Amino acid sequence: MPIESIPKFTPPAAKLWDAIPTDTRKRLLSNVWCGKCRHDVTITNFSGAVKGGDLLLVGKCAECRGDLARLIESKGSTGGSAGG
């Protein structure tokens, strides 16, 4: 699926999403916890919105088609010196 195209994101959500490196996006989308499957799954058919300054992705589980939601903190880091 083309990650570049943003399907159903609100403008502020699209802005946050756009700031995330493609590599990280792929990882975020393929590591969403599903409470029904009881393991990490890929989120599909997702849309994005901003909640309390954080990016909230809402979509469907690729395996059980259940509802999924993932909150991505836009700025969540304590301390941060150059490191690997």
Binding site for Zn ion (CB under 5 A): 34, 36-37, 61, 63-64, 66
Is-contact 52 72, C-beta < 8 A?
Answer: no
Which is nearer to Zn ion, 6 or 37 (by Cβ)? 37
How far is 26 from 84, CA to CA, in rounded Å? 20
Nearest alpha carbon to residue 69 among 55, 84, 53:
55
For residue 39, the minimal CB distance to Zn ion (Å) is 8
For residue 69, the minimal CB distance to Zn ion (Å) is 12
For residue 64, the minimal CB distance to Zn ion (Å) is 3
